Structure 1
Amino acid sequence: MSTVLIVVALVVVFAAVVAAVLYVGPGKASGRRGRGLKRRFGPEYERTVALHDGDTKAAERELAERVTRHGDLRPRPLSREAREQYVALWAGLQEQFVDAPRQAVAEADRLLARLAEDRGFPAASAYEEQVAALSVHHAHYVDGYRRVHRTARADAGTGTSAGTGAGTEELRAAMVDARRLFEALVTAQPEDHARHAPRRPAARGHRVHAPWPKGSGA
């Protein structure tokens, strides 16, 4: 075999090897993206798939769009004074729940919206966009915010005098779920949001989990 043919053969083989290494088929790329989104969003991934009636591709497109819009958001830190004020306000809501659970849930909804806005998330007036951003950075806790928001709106729509709103146990469950996001927002530092695995939000010396008042049953 001539030198020219040998060189040509080597070039062809080298090109084939490079192509095999670099080429990733659409199915493999999609699968890899899906696994990444599952790790990042956790329960939010399953919730979004269910909302799309099991269509994982549609769900992954929606989640990927959220990351594109909000993935670069860097939450602002709270001052020590602001943090202490928020902790006191939430503790007050837990005390208020004993005598006025519906009002406590409605105020918890507003408090979370304001806290998220203070941390640099979209404005409280843009609820859906605020939740979308929170889902990117607090995927394991954001559904608690949705729950307390739904409960507060349902009671506002039915009126408490009719007796058709949420029961006390449902209201309490909504508060407990929402508290997880509250703790994450009030204690997490900006660098914590680069990590997408769930973590205990309250560090030693900064406990924000005020117990439910005696007699509340929670």
Structure 2
Amino acid sequence: MSTGLIIALIVIVAVLVAVAAVVTLRARGPRHGTSLKRRFGPEYDRAVARHDGDTKAAERELADRVERHGSLHERELEPAERQRFEARWTAAQERFVESPRDALAEADRLLADLAGARGFPDGGHYEEQLAALSVHHAHHVDGYRRVHRVAQAHANGAADGGAGTEEMREAMVEARALFDDLLRPSRHDGGRHRTAPDGEHGTRPARGSHMPSLLHRRQTKES
């Protein structure tokens, strides 16, 4: 075989390898994006909006969250811990009638404490805790974001953080969904806490987890 033919074959092989690499990268891109969108749900759309429609930038951010927090193992709660958290949430809900802003502030603290108890970053590092929660509880994490926003505005002296009573009610309801999600046993708990199938997550809400009618009524009085 002549030297020229050998060189030609090497060039052809190199070109084929380069083409294959490009095709592989292009094929991985959409699948990677689809995987992130499926995992993060509404958080994916929020990330895209935050990056002004730049899906690649949003996906880099979400992929970074998975890299940092995807291996987090949620600690199971003891029955006494569950009861204490349930009691605190019930008290916060009841307080909403007279003082919605104080109720949201308590819900904010409660979610931070509960997430910390489950093994997420400490509530003192809110952004990192929120990022970790978005990886494992993406469909409910926005409730925490909403109550935290109002609670921080209230703590800084703003009357209500720009939120009316109805908006605060909706935030409290959304936050309750994350609370329930964090309170239930993880799937890998080995059956230590038995639950029956019911709804999206395959578990029944925790005892006492029903939302009082006061938070479903649009006539909740202003405080």
TM-score between the two structures when normalised by the length of structure 1? 0.80
The Cα offsets for residues 86-127 of structure 1, whole Å up to 9 and x where unpaired, read as 111111111111111111110100000000000000000000
Distance of aligned partners of 1:159 and 1:187 in 2 relative to their CA distance in 1, 3 Å threshold = same
| SS of structure 1 residue aligned to 2:146 | helix
1:144 aligns with 2:143: yes
Structure 1 residue 154 displacement after superposition: 1.9
Structure 1 residue 146 displacement after superposition: 0.3
1:36 aligns with 2:35: yes
1:186 aligns with 2:187: no
Distance of aligned partners of 1:216 and 1:100 in 2 relative to their CA distance in 1, 3 Å threshold = farther
RMSD between aligned residues: 2.9
The Cα offsets for residues 55-114 of structure 1, whole Å up to 9 and x where unpaired, read as 111111111110000000001000011011111111111111111111111010000000
1:77 aligns with 2:76: yes
Partner of 1:173: 170
Partner of 1:65: 64
Query: Paired residues, what number?
Result: 198
> How many angstroms apart in 2 are the aligned matches of 1:110 and 1:70?
21
* Aligned ranges 1:118-157 → 2 under 5 Å: 118-157=117-156
> How many angstroms apart in 1 are the aligned matches of 2:47 and 2:215?
37
The answer as to whether partners of 1:74 and 1:190 remain within 8 angstroms in 2 is: no
> How many angstroms apart in 2 are the aligned matches of 1:185 and 1:60?
25
Letter in 1 for 2:142: D
The answer as to whether partners of 2:36 and 2:62 remain within 8 angstroms in 1 is: yes
Partner of 2:207: 207
> How many angstroms apart in 2 are the aligned matches of 1:215 and 1:86?
19
Percent of residue pairs bearing the same amino acid type: 54
The Cα offsets for residues 146-201 of structure 1, whole Å up to 9 and x where unpaired, read as 011011112223444xx775321121111011111000001141538xxxxxx645
| SS of structure 1 residue aligned to 2:156 | helix
> How many angstroms apart in 1 are the aligned matches of 2:175 and 2:87?
16
Distance of aligned partners of 1:147 and 1:202 in 2 relative to their CA distance in 1, 3 Å threshold = farther
| SS of structure 2 residue aligned to 1:93 | helix
Distance of aligned partners of 1:212 and 1:47 in 2 relative to their CA distance in 1, 3 Å threshold = same
> How many angstroms apart in 2 are the aligned matches of 1:52 and 1:165?
24
Q: Which has the higher contact order (CA 8 A, sep 6+)?
A: 1
The answer as to whether partners of 1:184 and 1:202 remain within 8 angstroms in 2 is: no
| SS of structure 1 residue aligned to 2:209 | coil
In structure 2, list runs of 5 or more residues that go unmatched.
Answer: 1-12, 190-198, 219-223
Distance of aligned partners of 1:202 and 1:186 in 2 relative to their CA distance in 1, 3 Å threshold = farther
Letter in 2 for 1:50: A
The answer as to whether partners of 2:69 and 2:132 remain within 8 angstroms in 1 is: yes
Letter in 2 for 1:207: R
4+ runs deviating over 6 angstroms: none
Letter in 2 for 1:212: P
> How many angstroms apart in 1 are the aligned matches of 2:161 and 2:181?
32
TM-score between the two structures when normalised by the length of structure 2? 0.78
